[in-house]
Each structure stands twice: as C-alpha cells, then as structure tokens.
Chains A and B, each alone.
Chain A
Amino acid sequence: DGGITQSPKYLFRKEGQNVTLSCEQNLNHDAMYWYRQDPGQGLRLIYYSQIVNDFQKGDIAEGYSVSREKKESFPLTVTSAQKNPTAFYLCASRIEHVNTEAFFGQGTRLTVV
C-alpha cells in the first residue's frame, strides 16, 4: 500500500557519531521534507527537496545533511556538529512543493546516549 515509511522507529546514538534516518515514499511525490519536533514545541523545518538532485535548507539546517538521489528517498544525516540532536524527526511529502496536501511518516525518535 502507498505511503511514507520512516526507519528506524527508535535510534540511539553516542555523542560524536553521525547517524542516518531513512525516509522512503511510494506516492510518486516530487517534494519531500524533514521536520524536527521537540516536547512542547511545534514542528521546525530542517531541509526540503522540490525535485531529485536538489534540496534547500530550512530554518534549522545546521548540523544536518541530506541527499536526494532518487525520487522516492530522502535520507537525513544527523552529524556530530548537531549540538542537541535528541528529538522526534518527521518526514513528509507532497505531489509538488507549493499548494498540495502534505502527508507524514510515523517518525523516528533519536536519543543521544
């Protein structure tokens, strides 16, 4: 069935390590997004991609990196430069990057140990 799949659901990282969060969609959507959610706060945009091989920084891109080599995949790497990476990460997609409905995955909870 169609949808957005994020993996893993839970991820633990040691300080100083890079980790990669997976986001895959089979909806044939052009646009994909990564958001971060902290307790008591709204979602904040990290990176977005309007089309394959192109992506833009969101509001809190420092310490993160992305790639968009395939239409269906938009992995997010949390680097050791991200000072406070413990959070809930959400991936979203929509048909095109402007005025269409956005759909979200089930999220990945990242904890630094």
Chain B
Amino acid sequence: KQEVTQIPAALSVPEGENLVLNCSFTDSAIYNLQWFRQDPGKGLTSLLLIQSSQREQTSGRLNASLDKSSGRSTLYIAASQPGDSATYLCAPNNQGGKLIFGQGTELSVKP
C-alpha cells in the first residue's frame, strides 16, 4: 500500500528565501506525481505534474524533481513571496490510477 510522507510538516520563512519541500513515497511503481497547493478552506490547485519518465518539471518560480527509484520528489520554490503561503501537497499516481496524498507541508512566508 502506497504511503506518502511530506517533510517538514510546517515551515516559516522570511520573504525572498529559496525553499525545498520534500515528499517521499513507498511504492515506486507510479505513472506520475502531482504537486498541489491548498489555501485555507479552499480546494486544491494543481501546480506541477511530473511524469515517471521525467526528472524535472518547471513552472515559473517552481521546480519539481522526481527520483522514482528512491521514492522521492522535491518541490523547489525560488524567491518566496507572502502569496506563496499555503499548504503544499504531493500525490503520486499509482498504477491503479489512484492519487495517494501526503499530509502536506504548511508554508508561511513572512513579509
């Protein structure tokens, strides 16, 4: 059974810092991995989808990497801004087609 762990659980940084959020998963037989952002009381917004054949995927200040064999993905946020404050969730997509979620990293960026 796929288990997903996100470290750290919470992170508070001053504006402008570069950040790394970590995601590890136990079953490496995945099609892809998706990173989401969730604002309080809201739904999930898709940030990046990285296929199992890819090593990296970039969108603006966000860069996601995937090491499928070791069961790890990282989300790199460059030059963080207060508007980046949210909970970030990773979800590997198993071969059964199910997205399995970690508990997320709650990020706070202070002005």
A-to-B contact residues, CB < 8 Å? 4, 6, 31, 33, 35, 40-45, 48, 50, 58, 88, 90, 92, 97-99, 101-107, 109
Contacts and interface: CB of A to CB of B under 8 A. Distances in A.
Contacts of B43: 4, 6, 90, 104-107
Contact of A106 (B32, B42, B49): B42
B90 to A, nearest CB: 10
Given A99-B51, A104-B43, A42 B99 contact: no
B93 A99 contact: yes
Interface residues of B, number: 24
Contacts of A109: 41
A104 B102 CA distance: 16
A97 B97 contact: yes
A102 B4 contact: no
A61 to B, nearest CB: 13
25 contacts: A4-B43, A33-B99, A42-B89, A42-B102, A42-B103, A43-B91, A43-B101, A44-B101, A45-B99, A45-B100, A48-B97, A48-B98, A50-B97, A58-B98, A90-B44, A92-B99, A98-B31, A99-B31, A99-B93, A101-B46, A101-B49, A102-B46, A102-B99, A105-B43, A106-B43
Contact of A45 (B36, B98, B102): B98
Nearest to A50: B97
A33 B43 CA distance: 13
A2 B47 CA distance: 18
Interface string B63-106: 00000000000000000000000000101010001111111100
A98 B97 contact: yes
A102 B34 contact: yes
B103 A41 contact: yes
Contacts of B45: 104
